[in-house]
Amino acid sequence: MMLLAEKADLFPQLLAICLKLLGGVGATLGIFFLTLLFALPLGLLVAFGRMSRFKPLSLLVKLYISIVRGTPLMLQLLVVFFGPYYLFHVRTSNEYRFYAVIIGFSLNYAAYFAEIYRAGIQAVPKGQHEACEILGYTRTQKFFKIVFPQMVKNILPAVTNEVITLVKDTSLAFAIAYTEMFTVAKQVAAAQATIMPLFVAGLFYYVFNFVVAFVMESIEKKMNYFR
């Protein structure tokens, strides 16, 4: 395998690789943003279910969370993708591959976010709830006005970790042959017998996460207006 081509060829070669990978970047970004779009709010619902005083619901949600956290995401993607056919003999269309990725990722990340939210909600001091009670806020007012903003501040570091993991996890979509950036990188590497595309892919994840960390840090700074 050739690590570096001759110097004169290096730049055009790199450019060609980048252009090829660019074809997969859209898919990677798509998985990333759509997963956040669905999993962040879904996680809140899951957290409510987990904290519900209605025992059957909270037990069911607890089971869901423990399954999601106790099995590999790759396996979950396979189940979401092949499940409809093997379990219910439903023929899925080709677009379903994409839906399966988003459904699998969203269900997985919602479970993790739910546990983060729960910890963040429970970290809001009891005195805050009592002050709300005395002032006569309704439960909804209490949640959105008082608990939620404090929860957001509490959970930002944990959410940052999760989002950084998500950037890297997007590559798992290969498990059901959904072509994202890393799949392309592997294909190019194999076809051209060079490891360069993998380096470029690695650099992409690194820069992506650098941006994520920067954005999350500035949100954390924004939330520093109170303590």
Choose between 130 and 217: whose C-beta lies nearer to another protein.
130
d(CA 67, CA 191): 38
The least distance separating another protein from the CB of residue 156, rounded to whole angstroms, comes to 14
Choose between 129 and 186: whose C-beta lies nearer to another protein.
129
Choose between 55 and 227: whose C-beta lies nearer to another protein.
227
Provide CB contacts within 8 A for 69, sequence distance 6+.
Answer: 111, 112, 115
Give CA 164 to chain center in angstroms.
8
Q: Is 131 in the site for another protein (CB under 8 A)?
A: yes
Gyration radius of the chain over CA positions: 22
Select the residue interacting with another protein from 137, 143, 174, 199 (CB under 8 A): 137
d(CA 221, CA 121): 20
The least distance separating another protein from the CB of residue 53, rounded to whole angstroms, comes to 16
The least distance separating another protein from the CB of residue 227, rounded to whole angstroms, comes to 4
Q: How far is CA 3 from CA 8, 19, 31, 115, 192, in A?
A: 14, 19, 30, 44, 11
Q: How far is CA 109 from CA 69, 143, 145, 213, in A?
A: 9, 23, 26, 18
d(CA 99, CA 90): 15
The least distance separating another protein from the CB of residue 132, rounded to whole angstroms, comes to 9
Q: How far is CA 149 from CA 133, 153, 172, in A?
A: 18, 6, 33
The least distance separating another protein from the CB of residue 105, rounded to whole angstroms, comes to 31
Please tell me the count of residues contacting another protein according to CB under 8 A: 19
3-class secondary structure, 177: coil
Select the residue interacting with another protein from 66, 72, 130, 161 (CB under 8 A): 130
The least distance separating another protein from the CB of residue 76, rounded to whole angstroms, comes to 36
Query: In this structure, what is the dihedral angle of CA atoms 136, 138, 144, 148, given to the nearest 10 degrees?
Result: 70
- Footprint of another protein on 98-127 (CB under 8 A): 125, 127
- Footprint of another protein on 145-164 (CB under 8 A): 145-146, 149-150, 153
Q: Is 128 in the site for another protein (CB under 8 A)?
A: yes
Q: Is 56 in the site for another protein (CB under 8 A)?
A: no
Q: Is 135 in the site for another protein (CB under 8 A)?
A: yes
Which positions lie near another protein, rule CB under 8 A?
125, 127-128, 130-131, 133-137, 141, 145-146, 149-150, 153, 225-227
